[in-house]
Every structure is written in C-alpha cells, then in structure tokens.
Amino acid sequence: MKIPFSKYHGCGNDFVLVRETDVIGADASALAVAMCERHCGVGADGLIVVRTDPLEMVYYNQDGSRAPMCGNGIRCFSLFCKDEGIVEADRFDVVTLAGTKTVDALPDGRFRVDMQKPQFETALCGIEAPIWDVEVLGLRLYTLFMSTIHTVVFVEDAFMDIESIGRALCEHPLFHAQTNVNFVQIVDDETIKVQTYERGCGVTLACGTGVCASAYVAHREKGCAPSLHVLMKKGALDIQILADDTIVMQGPAKKIAKGEYYDD
C-alpha cells in the first residue's frame, strides 16, 4: 500500500500528515507507530490525519496513542491545508478532540490560533485532587488542561537534560493518564524558555500547547506579562493571554518533505 504523505515541523516539533482518504481501512494507531519511527519510518513526533468534511485534525502521538490536539501540529495542519488547496480562506475553523479552534493565516506566513481558555477540572487533568503549587519529587508542580494535560515546573535552566525527571513526573502515579511536563525558565518579564517532556513521545524540541500552559502559569504565578515571547531549542512562539484568560498562540510552520510511504 502506497500512502502519499507530507512532513512539516513547527519550531522543530515534526509531523507526518496524511489525508484520511489515503488511509481508509488502515489502523491509524499502528500507522502512526510505523511512520513516526525514526529509523525504519519517515520519522516524526506525531501523525496527523487530515479530515475535510468537516475540517478536522486527527492527531496521534508517535507511540500510537491518540491526543486531543497539538499546538504546533495545528499550525502544520493549517499550512498543509493551504498548500494542498483544502482551505483558501485566511480564517477557518479546525475541529479537534479539544474543541473547535479558529486559525488565522497571517501575511508573514505564520499562523495565529485561538487556543481558548485553560481548564482545571481534575477529571480532565486525570488527577484525583488539584495539583497546583504542590511539591512532587522535590519540585513545585502546576497542572492544568490546555487542550491536553500539562504540568508546569519552574527551573533555573529549561534547556537542561530533562529526560529522567521528565519521565518520572510524566509517569508519576498521581497522573492516571500521565501528563506532559514543561520545564520553564523565566528570562525576564516578557520572555521565558520552555522544554517539554511529552507523554507518548518523550523529550521534544517544542510543544505548542505546553508553551501556552507555561505562559499562563508564568503570568498567573510569577507575575510575567500577559504577552510573552517563548523560546525553545529550535524556534519561538508568541503567546497572548487576554483579560478573560483566553490564550492566543502565534508562530510558524514549515514544509519539509513530500513523498510516498510503503506500508507492507
């Protein structure tokens, strides 16, 4: 089976994108594992299946698990839809498991996404009691639902080696569905650095929903400005927190490759 695919990245967070019509009958979860594998597949942090009626982003982590949505992924999805002529308007809605997101294609080639408001219900976060300014493994944790489950940790060096502690926090028994862990360094009132350990993926170069969660907690708990420039290892995003707590993300997406994947 030959599967047409495209590969995109947002600030280093990379994705394989396929049209749903090209993978009819395939096990999308298994396909995600195969295509995202770095040595014998295309290689990516996740697989995005593009539905067009209605326009929907169906997202799978590289381990085959389904995720509600992905912040960097939705910008890559949006650029794919523009590149492929699926969308012609500069403002459009994208259906996700985390709700419908409104996307604006900007004149400079970037995309602005209304990420809506953070939520704090324990059921959404996969926890039994609030984890907000709670010490776990010697670190203060802040957990919320920002289109998916996120935990924020403030550190002196966000770009340190987070593999071990990230996994330990992600898989901690407190989090029944695991959690994405964001290590945040405050540079100044308007700038932060973020590195994320993602459930179902591990350490990634960028995480859009994690950046949104990190900016919100930095603003609420550390007095940072409501408009933040967020630095990651391979790029940056601009996050704006509105008066009603709505979070708006603005950033790039880039096409890397296009080809055919041979599914045995």
> Which residues carry out catalysis?
70, 207
Q: Is the dihedral of CA 128, 211, 159, 224 positive or negative?
A: negative
| Per-residue exposure over 227-241, b if at least 16 CB sit within 10 Å of its own CB, e if not | ebebbbeebbbbbbb
Bridge partners (DSSP) listed for residue 114: 248
Let me know: does 247 contact 230? Beta carbons within 8 Å: no
Sign, Cα dihedral of 102, 98, 210, 75: negative
User: How many other CB atoms are there within 10 angstroms of residue 31's CB atom?
Assistant: 22
Cis peptide before 54 (omega within 30 of 0): yes
Residue 112's H or E segment, with its range, is strand 111-114
